A = this chain, B = another copy of it.
Amino acid sequence: MSVEEVKKNRAALEFSRENLESVLKRRFFYAPAFELYGGVSGLYDYGPPGCAFQANIIDVWRKHFILEEDMLEVDCTMLTPYEVLKTSGHVDKFSDWMCRDLKTGEIFRADHLVEEVLEARLKGDKEARGLVKDANADAQEDADKKKRKKKVKEIKAVKLEDEVVKEYEEILAKIDGYSGEELGELMVKYKIGNPTTGETLEAPRAFNLMFETAIGPSNQLKGYLRPETAQGQFLNFNKLLEFNNGKTPFASASIGKSFRNEISPRSGLLRVREFLMAEIEHFVDPENKKHPRFSEVEGIKLKFLPRDVQQAGSTVPLETTVGDAVKSKMVDNETLGYFIARIYLFLITIGVDPNRLRFRQHMANEMAHYAADCWDAELQTSYGWIECVGCADRSAYDLTVHSNKTKEKLVVRQKLDEPIQVTKWEIELTKKLFGPKFRKDAPKVEAYLLGLSQEELAAKADQLKSEGKIVFNVEGIEGDIELDDKFVSIEKKTKTEHVREFVPNVIEPSFGIGRIIYSIFEHSFWSRPEDSARAVLSFPPLVAPTKVLLVPLSNHQDLVKVTADVSRIFRKEKIPFKVDDSGVSIGKRYARNDELGTPFGVTIDFESAKDGTVTLRERDSTKQVRGAVEDIIKAIRDITYNGASWEEGTKTLEPFVTQSE
């Protein structure tokens, strides 16, 4: 079977999520965690094939990014004290809006509720207008597709005013952008309550999505489970910079679990409460975001969905090269463009279908609180387009807030080739007067004044000049404080500087490994045209959980010995393999392993016992070749790890024809 025929075969039958899920469950790729105890929504365990697949993807990630780009990997704790996440903004802003039914105790996520109720009313309107036959059946289909429970149990066929239809449609288009207050107003205006009882709900309240805990005995220290790995990397910035001999740009990277206490998770692996992330923080000079290796990727063509295309209401992507995307300023700079291309190359390597991958720019109202710009790698699945990798420009946000809070500088010091003249406001204090005036508060007042920014100093200088004094407040000291020019002088001074000091900007590619894994499941899954029950997961050999299935033709003593010998060689060569010596037919054993995505089968028969040759079978084409064990292993190694195609890898081996399969 040729590559073209395999392609045709893969597309022959329509994708069925039901079939895929049944295979994933049967082969224990993953399962709901704590199923024995009834399960906990949003928590999943990976079984052996899922776990090996995940480990292989992480291994490729480490080589593709960390090793290839000489990144500095760190492993930081998940437990994070309150203060850090207060500063980063997560305590105040990392939340969803929930509203409670005070009678039944039910809890709804406000945006989802408004969305579903308005959608249901629009469906009812369509039925009343005779545009759909059965609004309820339609809604059920929608819910199944999104894998969620229908909140609106029964839709009534009620015609709406044309104006109201238009209002509803406008609200739905902007549903991700409303604040809690706005959602509450919508609920009042459009009488949106508990869909089952009609009862009015409590106004939306912010529900923080971080898991809270106490560190140490007796609640001494409030803490959270981290919502991202990024903060640990920012906090170690000075150590990382020093490790890198003070040079920028450089990147740190981290692989680990993060947590999000979803209000009511759904959609399987796509929305979970505990998930594996791989994040890169690339620290770069804000005045120079060029990338030295940009030329290596500028020719790569990608599908972009920029902000203006979306604003025009279109979802047709623009196909263009990364080079042109940066040249036209659609993508802001080379570094951002470089990482978008590298993300693409990574995803393709591990089995993502390039035709179902696009880069979508975030709209202004959907960006996280720290982001200045963001492009998502989205993968198309039966749930729609799913955000799997974010590539955000966090600007200098995080380093700045942590530095302001802790009063520790988080900056790069760059020796200048030519010294420069810098004019700056400077404040001088007549310290001997501070002690007598402020007593124990003197250090506080001094610290406040010395901590003023350039803008603040300029304003204070004005005040000092016009009013002859400055007036200000210091936290912890009651009342206004007034100081005249006997206490302070504020003047503009010009100095020669030999070192430039700057807070680097951060470009952050952030990977949701679980979402990527699920998308690859969908992209890899197909059934053989001759029998829809014969499912195949066509993972690239490099990331397939197991590389080889060893299949002795029978349990005859001679074959048992050969199987043991061949196993020993595979083990020594560290190629992940499994033996299947169960009694069932060869065909059944291969079928089982097609479901596990194992790319190669090695059959041991009576010839093998005589001359040491074995048969090698390729999963997708079911093609077979025969040769000595050593040559077969070389072929497997070349195809799996060295990027050879089946044709290249097996060109010295004999074709082998069999009647079975």
A576: chain B residues at CB < 8 Å are 67
Please determine whether B217 and A36 come into contact, CB atoms closer than 8 angstroms: no
Which of B46, B257, B261 is close to A215, meaning CB atoms less than 8 Å apart? B261
Contact A213 B212 (CB under 8 A): yes
Chain B residues near A274: list those with CB within 8 A. 77-79
CB atoms of B261 and A216 under 8 A apart? yes
Closest Cβ of chain B: how far from A489's Cβ, in Å?
Answer: 33
Q: CB of A207 within 8 A of chain B? A: yes
A84 beta carbon closer than 8 Å to chain B: yes
Residues A74 and B51 in contact, CB atoms below 8 Å apart: yes
Query: Cβ of A460 < 8 Å from any Cβ of B?
Result: no
Chain B residues with Cβ under 8 A from A48's Cβ?
Answer: 72-74, 240, 243
Q: Does A98 belong to the interface (CB within 8 Å)?
A: yes
Q: Is the CB of B215 within 8 A of A47?
A: no
- Whether a CB of chain B sits under 8 angstroms from the CB of A402 is yes
Residue of B nearest to A58 (CB): B55
Q: How far is the CB of A212 from chain B (nearest CB, A)?
A: 6
Known contacts A75-B45, A257-B78; is-contact A62 B55 (Cβ 8 Å) = yes
Out of B52, B78, B245, B402, name the residue touching A73 (CB < 8 Å).
B52
Residue A70 is within 8 A (CB to CB) of chain B in the complex = yes
Determine how close the nearest CB of chain B comes to the CB of A56; give it in whole angstroms. Answer: 11
Question: A75, B46: Cβ atoms under 8 Å?
Answer: yes
Number of copies: 2
Cβ of A511 to closest chain B Cβ, rounded Å: 16
Known contacts A81-B37, A273-B79; is A47 also within 8 Å of B74 by CB?
yes
Q: Any chain B CB within 8 A of the CB of A538?
A: no
A63 engages B217 (CB within 8 Å) = no
Would you call A232 an interface residue if the criterion is a C-beta within 8 Å of the partner chain's C-beta atoms? Answer: yes
Given contacts A40-B79, A79-B211, A107-B218, contact A67 B33 (CB under 8 A): no
Among B27, B80, B257, B273, the residue within 8 A (CB) of A34 is: B80
A68 at the interface (CB under 8 A from B): yes
A576, closest chain B residue (CB): B67
Contacts of A50 on B, CB cut-off 8 Å?
75
Mark contacts of A53-68 with chain B using CB atoms, 8 A cut-off: 1 yes-contact digit, 0 otherwise: 0110000001100011
Select which of B35, B67, B218, B574 is within 8 A of A100 by beta carbon: B218
Given A47-B240, A217-B98, A578-B70, CB of A37 within 8 Å of CB of B261 = no
User: For residue A72, which residues in chain B have a CB less than 8 angstroms away from its CB?
Assistant: 47-48
Q: Is the beta-carbon distance between A76 and B107 smaller than 8 angstroms? A: no
Contacts of A75 in B (CB 8 A): 45-46, 50-51, 54
Checking B28, B100, B225, B239 against A243 with a beta-carbon cut-off of 8 angstroms, the contacting residue is B28
> Would you call A84 and B232 a contact (CB within 8 A)?
no
Contact in complex: B31, A236 (CB < 8 Å): yes
Q: Is A582 an interface residue (CB 8 A)?
A: yes
Q: Does A132 contact B (CB under 8 A)?
A: no
- Whether, in the assembled complex, A590 has its beta carbon less than 8 Å from a beta carbon of chain B, the answer is no
Q: Which of A232-250 contact B (CB under 8 A)?
A: 232, 235-236, 238-240, 242-243, 245
Q: How far is the CA of A525 from the CA of B362 in the complex (A)?
A: 50
Assembled-state Cα–Cα distance A211/B216 (Å): 9
Nearest B residue to A242, CB-CB: B28
In whole angstroms, what is the CA distance A214 to B259 when docked? 12
- Minimum CB distance partner of A233 in chain B: B45
Which chain B residues border A41 with CB–CB below 8 Å? 216
Closest beta carbon of chain B to A551's beta carbon, Å: 14
**A44 part of interface (Cβ distance < 8 Å):** yes
**How distant is the Cα of A225 from the Cα of B78 in the complex, in angstroms?**
11
- Min CB distance A124 to B, Å, is 29
| B212 A406 Cβ-Cβ under 8 A | no
Assuming A63-B574, A77-B274, A217-B263, is B408 touching A239 (CB within 8 A)?
no
Chain B residues whose CB sits within 8 angstroms of the CB of A51 once the complex forms: 73-75
Does A565 lie at the interface of the complex (its beta carbon under 8 Å from any beta carbon of B)?
A: no
For residue A92, CB closer than 8 A to chain B, the reply is no
A40 touches B273 (CB 8 A): no
A230 to B: closest C-beta gap in Å: 13
Chain B residues within an 8 Å CB radius of A582: 245
**Contact check: which of B37, B45, B235, B256 meets A406 at CB < 8 Å?**
B37
Query: Cα distance A212–B98 when bound, in Å?
Result: 23
Interface centre among A242, A243, A262 (most CB of B within 10 A): A243
When the two chains form their complex, are residues B36 and A55 in contact, meaning their CB atoms are under 8 A apart? no
Residue of B nearest to A262 (CB): B216
A52 to B74, CA, bound (A): 8
> Are the CB atoms of A45 and B67 closer together than 8 Å?
no
A490 within 8 Å of B by Cβ? no
Are A43 and B74 CB-contacts (below 8 A) given A225-B213, A245-B582, A571-B68?
Answer: no
Residues of A within 8 A of B (CB): 27-28, 31, 33-37, 40-41, 43-48, 50-52, 54-55, 62-63, 67-68, 70, 72-81, 83-84, 98, 100, 107, 207, 211-218, 221, 223, 225, 232, 235-236, 238-240, 242-243, 245, 256-257, 259, 261-264, 273-274, 402, 406, 408, 571, 574, 576, 578, 582
Listed by A's residue number, 18 A-B pairs whose Cβ atoms lie within 8 Å are A28-B243, A31-B236, A34-B84, A34-B235, A36-B408, A37-B235, A45-B76, A45-B232, A47-B72, A47-B240, A67-B576, A68-B571, A77-B274, A79-B211, A79-B259, A207-B217, A213-B213, A257-B257
Given pairs A47-B243, A48-B73, 14 additional interface contacts (CB within 8 A):
A31-B239, A34-B81, A37-B84, A40-B81, A44-B77, A46-B76, A47-B236, A47-B240, A48-B243, A52-B73, A212-B214, A216-B263, A245-B582, A257-B257
The 3 tightest CB contacts between A and B, nearest first, are: A46-B75, A48-B72, A45-B76
